[in-house]
């Protein structure tokens, strides 16, 4: 029997530059292992591939997968690895491409748990930042998929994800269904950290009298239920748990899989770093025209100080509030508005499920049953409920009726709340538990140097085979921290002399994770003063001196530029898939000075060399 499977076929557009070089051009040269299990981390190596920031390299597998049963499947799938560094071996260099979890939850060639061999080729397809697509030379490949554990389902009790949840939430009972291949399993063992109020590792075992192909963890009215992740510490954005599954046959042989899993709040702020020039203002003369003379040395220092306020503006995306049925009432909130909000943090999509379908061939259900109810009265403080308005007490009572009286007491949490400053405070702070390492890269061999490497999610080593590693399905280690005090404003700056408007401002102390507008006037005044940047530092931190030649004239100019840090506000559904809620723009200011030299002060006044004013990231003009 033969079946055909076509997944994620990459169509090369007319603008593509298709090449099949002989010994040159983009090409793969090796794979880290030709024997894999489902979920294992694997690297591909090649030359003349795209580096980080240059675009994306996809891997197209074409050929036939033959299972041990003899069944053959035609294969044509495309996977998207991530750049994982440049490896130097003596004088030679090669680019490493990382697939953190091969599958990631099932055999990618059949979508099942089949054991067998893929025979065919893998071709690198490069798409640079300009959209130009180049097809590299194919590399012949024979890849054996050994006895494995496939994760068929993982998610909250009442979710309908269609695929294993990408992230987990604290306070909800979770169910996992696994299927084993290549082994007549009679016992399953689960090791999970940070569940059911225990900060260590909880071990749950299921034993059978005869071999079975699948097993379910966390099902109501079964041994070891429920599985509820612990609350997230107040000083962390999320934490990563270690989840291992083992299957044993009657003779004691085993297979295993490991999954580093992020536990998140339903809403969070993600700052990916970066400091973007948003606006450059017109240069202004700050001195009169000065004639030159022999040994004439002039220096610049501030006489009239310019003030600019560090502000933060918030845009909540209308599309998100409509699609998620979120209630947002923010008409009276200064600095918070609904509108069009775009970000590339989710791979250019407002819903993470779309990019995962394209890059990892995972299909998730996007339905109302997976939505979390969000609401806000002012756009700053948010509350959520994951069970259609049910209270924590009612939810706990219902879960006790399913799992047994007292089994979930004090561990479930169906609703919660938080503020945007609080989310921003803990951005980038992710805790790990025992057995989880940052980065899912495969190990380096002796004498090999790796440069320009990136941390890709989280990883775990195999317990029975230390050469086997398993990674997470998301790059969860990328967020960075945000700090400082900012005035919440819809504009890019406020007037320092407008004391009435200043006293009515809303202040966010991101370092403390709080809004301090209603605090004492003394604390407000102290915090408010820290939001103002002045040009005084221009003469204090830099020495601006220059010579004005004889028969020439000079004039000092000052120019102010506005930079922004852009952070994304994300929400998650029950399956852990992110949606773009909105953006935070943190405005900060810098100054520059220039000594302009001209012929004279009357007919040819000195013209500055500072660049012309320009708006790079609207809105501008504040």
The 3-class secondary structure across 334-360, one letter per residue, is: CCEEEECCCCCCCCCCCEHHHHHHHHH
- Tell me the C-alpha distance between 256 and 242, whole Å: 13
Quick one: which H or E segment has residue 156? strand 148-156
pLDDT at residue 413 greater than cutoff 50 = yes
Question: For 534, how many CA atoms within 13 A lie in the half-sphere containing its CB?
Answer: 12
CA 472, chain centre distance (Å): 12
Residues 472 and 258: their CA atoms lie apart, in Å, by 9
User: Averaged over 613-618, what is the pLDDT?
Assistant: 90
Tell me which DSSP letter residue 619 carries. S
**Both tokens assigned to 66:** 């033959």
Which of the pair, 600 or 465, is modelled with greater confidence? Answer: 600
User: In this predicted structure, what is the pLDDT of residue 538?
Assistant: 62
- The pLDDT of residue 140: 97
* Cα–Cα dist 287/544, whole Å: 13
What is the b/e burial string over 282-296, where b = at least 16 CB atoms within 10 angstroms of the residue's CB? ebeebeebbebeeee
Query: Facing residues of 380 across strands?
Result: none
- Return mean pLDDT, the chain: 82
Residue 210: Cβ-neighbour burial (10 angstroms; 0-12, 13-18, 19+):
exposed
**Average pLDDT for residues 27-34, to the nearest whole number?**
94
Tokens 């294969």 appear where?
75
Cα–Cα nearest to 191, from 264, 239, 247:
247
Residue 188 has pLDDT above 50, yes or no: yes
Q: How far apart are CA 360 and CA 108, in angstroms?
A: 9
Residue 321 clears pLDDT 60, i.e. is over it: yes
Q: Taking Cα atoms as reference points, which of 111, 127, 193, 142 lies closest to residue 35?
A: 142
**Selection from 139-153, 317-331, 400-414 with the highest mean pLDDT:** 139-153
What CA–CA distance (Å, rounded) separates 515 from 508? 5
- Residues 322, 324, 325, 327, Cα dihedral to 10°: -90
Q: What's the rounded Cα separation, in Å, for the pair 79 and 59?
A: 5
User: Nearest Cα to 581, choosing from 356, 321, 366?
Assistant: 321
Contact yes or no for 568/345 (Cβ under 8 A)? yes
Q: What is the spatial distance between Cα 426 and Cα 483, in angstroms, rounded to a whole number?
A: 10
What gap in Å lies between CA 136 and CA 24, rounded to an integer?
A: 9
Give the model's confidence band at 440: pLDDT under 50 very low, under 70 low, under 90 confident, else very high. Answer: low
Look-up of token digits 């059978």: 208
CB 226, CB 439: distance < 8 Å: no
Give the Cα separation of 168 and 42 in Å (integer).
25
pLDDT band at 108 (very low <50, low <70, confident <90, very high): very high
Answer whether 460's CB lies under 8 Å from 469's CB. yes
- pLDDT band per the 50, 70, 90 thresholds, residue 582: confident
3-state secondary structure 357-385: HHHHCCCCCCCHHHCCEEEECCCCEEEEE
Over residues 410-425, the mean pLDDT reads 83
pLDDT band of 58, cuts 50, 70, 90: very high
Overall average pLDDT of the 516-520 stretch? 69
For residue 407, the model assigns a pLDDT of 66
11 vs 163 pLDDT, higher one: 163
SS3 at position 525: helix
Rounded distance, CA 97 to CA 83, Å?
5
SS3 585: strand
341 compared with 39, residue with greater pLDDT: 39
619 cis-preceded (ω within 30 degrees of 0): yes
Identify which of 306, 338, 334, 337 has the alpha carbon closest to the alpha carbon of residue 319: 338
Q: What is the chain's percent helix, strand, coil content, to nearest 5? A: 10, 45, 45
Distance CA(517)–CA(487), nearest Å, equals 10
The first and second tokens of residue 147, run together, are 């006895």
180 pLDDT more than 90: yes
Residue 251's CB: how many other CB atoms inside 10 A? 9
Are residues 311 and 562 in contact, defined by beta-carbon separation less than 8 angstroms? no
Q: Which residues pair with 191 in a beta bridge?
A: 203, 244
With beta carbons less than 8 A apart as the criterion, state whether 597 and 552 touch: yes
450-481 pLDDT per residue, tens: 676 665 678 888 876 667 888 888 765 567 78
**In this predicted structure, what is the pLDDT of residue 8?**
39
Say what the pLDDT of residue 5 is.
41
Tokens of 346: 């989710």
Mean pLDDT of 106-135: 94
Q: Would you call 214 helix, strand, or coil by DSSP?
A: strand
Whether residue 217 has pLDDT greater than 70 = yes
Name, of 162-166, 403-407, 483-487, the range with top average pLDDT. Answer: 162-166
* Predicted confidence (pLDDT) per residue in 534-580, tens digit: 877 665 545 667 888 888 899 989 999 999 888 888 889 899 888 88
Residue 37, both tokens: 């299990």
Question: At 369, is the pLDDT very low, low, confident or very high (cuts 50, 70, 90)?
Answer: confident
Chain centre distance of CA 545? 45
pTM above 0.75, yes or no: yes
Residue that wins the pLDDT comparison between 410 and 617: 617
pLDDT 10s digits, 253-298: 999 999 999 999 999 998 877 788 999 999 999 888 888 877 777 7
Residue 212's H or E segment, with its range, is strand 198-212
- Among 454-458, 580-584, 593-597, the range scoring the smallest mean pLDDT is 454-458
- Report the DSSP pairing between strands 578-598 and 553-572: antiparallel
Contact between 76 and 6 under an 8 Å Cβ cutoff? The reply is yes
User: What pLDDT, in 10s, does the model give residues 5-18?
Assistant: 433 333 333 333 34
Question: How far does the chain reach from its first CA to its final CA, in angstroms?
Answer: 69
pLDDT at 60 over 60: yes
Task: Give yes or no for residue 227 having a pLDDT over 50.
Answer: yes
Range of lowest pLDDT (523-527, 529-533, 542-546, 600-604): 542-546
Q: Which of 207, 210, 218 is nearest to 246 (CA)?
A: 207
The two three-digit tokens of residue 385, written as one number? 């409920």
Handedness of CA 78, 272, 318, 579 (dihedral sign): positive
């Amino acid at each position: 029997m033969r079946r055909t499977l076509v997944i994620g076929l990459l169509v090369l557009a007319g603008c593509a530059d298709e090449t099949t070089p002989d010994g040159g051009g983009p090409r793969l040269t090796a794979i880290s292992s030709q024997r894999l299990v489902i979920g294992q981390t694997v690297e591909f190596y090649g030359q003349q591939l795209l580096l980080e920031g240059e675009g994306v390299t996809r891997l197209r597998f074409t050929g036939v997968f033959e299972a041990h049963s003899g069944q053959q499947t035609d294969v044509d799938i495309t996977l998207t690895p991530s750049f994982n560094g440049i490896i130097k071996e003596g004088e030679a260099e090669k680019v490493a491409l990382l697939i953190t979890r091969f599958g990631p939850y099932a055999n990618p060639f059949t979508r099942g748990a089949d054991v067998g061999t893929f025979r065919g080729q893998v071709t690198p397809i490069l798409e640079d930042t300009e959209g130009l697509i180049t097809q590299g030379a194919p590399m012949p490949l024979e890849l054996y998929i050994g006895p494995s554990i496939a994760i068929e389902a993982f998610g909250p009790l009442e979710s309908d994800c269609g695929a294993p949840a990408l992230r987990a939430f604290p306070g909800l009972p979770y169910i996992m269904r696994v299927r084993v291949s290549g082994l007549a399993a009679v016992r399953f063992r689960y090791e999970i950290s940070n569940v059911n109020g225990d900060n260590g590792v909880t071990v749950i075992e299921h034993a059978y009298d005869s071999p079975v192909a699948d097993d379910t963890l966390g099902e109501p009215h079964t041994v070891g239920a429920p599985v509820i992740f612990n609350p997230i510490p107040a000083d962390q954005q999320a934490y990563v748990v270690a989840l291992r599954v083992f299957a044993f046959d009657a003779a004691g042989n085993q297979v295993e899989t490991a999954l580093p899993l992020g536990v998140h709040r339903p809403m969070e702020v993600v700052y990916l770093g970066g400091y973007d020039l948003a606006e450059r203002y017109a240069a202004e003369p700050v001195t009169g025209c000065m004639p030159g003379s022999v040994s004439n040395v002039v220096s610049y220092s501030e006489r009239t100080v310019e003030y600019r306020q560090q502000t933060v503006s918030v845009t909540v995306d209308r599309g998100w509030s409509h699609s998620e049925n979120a209630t947002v009432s923010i008409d009276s909130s200064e600095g918070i508005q609904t509108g069009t909000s775009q970000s590339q943090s989710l791979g250019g999509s407002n819903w993470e499920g779309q990019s995962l379908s394209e890059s990892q061939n995972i299909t998730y259900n996007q339905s109302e049953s997976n939505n979390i109810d969000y609401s806000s009265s002012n756009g700053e403080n948010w509350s959520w409920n994951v069970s259609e308005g049910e209270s924590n007490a009612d939810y706990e009572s219902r879960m006790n009726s399913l799992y047994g009286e007292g089994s979930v007491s004090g561990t479930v949490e169906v609703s919660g709340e938080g503020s945007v400053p609080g989310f921003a405070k803990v951005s980038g702070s992710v805790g790990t538990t025992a057995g989880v390492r940052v980065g899912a890269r495969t190990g380096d061999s002796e004498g090999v140097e790796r440069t320009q490497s990136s941390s890709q999610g989280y990883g775990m080593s195999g317990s029975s085979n230390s050469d086997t590693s398993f990674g997470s399905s998301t790059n969860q280690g990328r967020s960075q921290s945000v700090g400082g005090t900012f005035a919440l404003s819809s504009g890019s700056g406020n007037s320092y002399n407008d004391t009435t408007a200043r006293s009515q401002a809303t202040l966010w102390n991101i370092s403390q994770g709080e809004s301090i507008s209603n605090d004492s006037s003394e604390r407000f005044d102290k915090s408010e003063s820290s939001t103002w940047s002045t040009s005084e530092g221009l003469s204090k931190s830099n020495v601006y001196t220059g010579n004005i030649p004889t028969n020439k004239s000079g004039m000092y100019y000052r120019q102010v530029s506005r930079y922004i840090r852009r952070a994304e506000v994300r929400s998650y559904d029950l399956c852990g898939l992110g949606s773009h809620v909105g953006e935070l723009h943190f405005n900060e200011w810098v100054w520059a000075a220039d000594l302009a030299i001209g012929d004279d002060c009357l007919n040819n006044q000195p013209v500055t060399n500072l660049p012309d004013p320009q708006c790079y990231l609207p809105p501008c003009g504040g």
